[in-house]
Amino acid sequence: METLVHEIRQEWQEHILPFWLGLKDETHGGFYGEVDADLHIHKQADKGGIATSRLLWSFSAAARVTGERAYADAARHAFTFLQNHLLDPLHGGMYWMVDYTGQPVDTCKHVYAQAFAIYALAEYARATDDPNALPLAMELFHLVEQKGYDSALQAYGEQYDHSWNAQPNELLSENGVTAHITMNTHIHVLEAYTQLLRAQPNEEVRTALKNVLDILYHRVYDASARQLGVFFDREWHSLLDLTSYGHDIEASWLMEDAMNVLDYHPSEYVNMVVDIASAVAERAIQPDGSLINEREEERIDTSRIWWVQAEAMVGFYNAFQRTQDERFLQIVQNLWTYTRQYIIDPRAGGEWFWSVQADGKPDAREIAGPWKCPYHNSRFCIEMLERMDKQ
């Protein structure tokens, strides 16, 4: 265990964080929007709202855990860009995308993006004494609850235009369907509200968080299949026979985290957490130690994606902590061995590959971009270090 702790801390502090610190845009603010597969920095690439929030969260968390001033400075840098350029001063909420100078290029509002801003601002508040962080997080929370939640459907909406009129969910729909409701948005609203409640006890947030957890159990989780549905129509009918192994194992530990913050542990919810982890272990862990991406009907996507490995290590370690089943601990160790060998980019100036194929060959996707940020792998490092330190 000591070797694992050392290796994870070294990867986080000597590889992941320095890479992202090197992308700070001192001219226009924020962080450069793209590093391509050849490690070329595209300084005029657009800057995403999700990416900015994830960078803010990552550096805030690093500052909180380590106390290092450089990370706190980077968090303030990200916060300033978010506050000045990504928030709509007229209608409220986070834009989807701005250009490299901070001018809006896609003003649509997505609940998923609002959730990440709340998540990041709550962590920034925990890490710094900035008095603007929590009020802004609460402003976005109220906006999501007022504009993005349908109490009749018991569902959070997805995509809206700049003035919060509902739009077809093009941004978070995949696999040939357009979903009115997604599992992905709901688990990240859960994550955001968990962090917001952790940062500041609040009965309104507590009620909303418990509601999201209940939605996930009653509406999204399929107990007979031990998995979460992915895409739904507006009547909560599943649109596809689809299993996202990465999202399932990620959601398992995020739901446990929410239960811990709420101090609310119904036996059926605890069983859900363990059953999801067990099902993913049985169905998707490969002989090489990795976790594959997804199953759609009979088609298996065997890509080994960076964030899937990162979230799986936290999810299976959480299952180990919950059950003390050594099988889960062995899965974590095997995943880390695989990640070190294939997912972590060994090139000077690299970070983690987006994904690799079954033969270990990396794909040609970007190393940094609107979705590829330090959030998943930084969080894996922090979660594992804090959890193993308590063992």
In this prediction, residue 391 has a pLDDT band, given cuts at 50, 70 and 90, of: low
Q: How far apart are CA 214 and CA 75, in angstroms?
A: 33
Give me the helix-helix angle, 49-66 and 375-390, nearest 10°.
30
Q: How far is CA 128 from the centre of its chain?
A: 21
304 bridge partner residues? 356
pTM for the structure as a whole? 0.98
Mean pLDDT of the chain: 97
Calpha distance 34→99 (Å, rounded): 12
Q: Does position 123 have pLDDT exceeding 80, yes or no?
A: yes
- Contact present, 157 and 149 (Cβ < 8 Å): yes
In angstroms, the CA 167 to CA 164 distance is: 9
Per-residue pLDDT for 3 more than 80?
yes
> Is residue 122 within 8 Å of 196, Cβ to Cβ?
yes
Q: How far apart are CA 105 and CA 28, in angstroms?
A: 15
Within 10 Å of residue 219's Cβ, how many Cβ atoms?
17
Phi-psi region of 68 (alpha: psi -120 to 50; beta: other; left: phi over 0): beta
Rounded CA-CA distance 296/175 in Å is: 9
Share of the chain above pLDDT 90, in %: 98
pLDDT greater than 70 at residue 348: yes
**pLDDT tens digits, 181-210:** 999 999 999 999 999 999 999 999 999 999
Query: pLDDT tens digits, residue range 299-327?
Result: 999 999 999 999 999 999 999 999 999 99
Cβ-contact 300, 292 below 8 angstroms = yes
Grade residue 224 by pLDDT with cuts at 50, 70 and 90.
very high
CB 219 within 8 A of CB 199: no
CA 263 → CA 120, 210, 318, distances in Å? Answer: 22, 10, 16
Q: Please name the residue that has the structure tokens 């000045």.
A: 84
pLDDT tens for each residue of 245-254: 999 999 999 9
Task: Tell me if residue 333 falls in helix, strand or coil.
Answer: helix
Cα separation, 377 vs 380, in Å, equals 5
Mean pLDDT of 344-348: 97
Q: Per-residue pLDDT averaged across 204-223, rounded?
A: 98
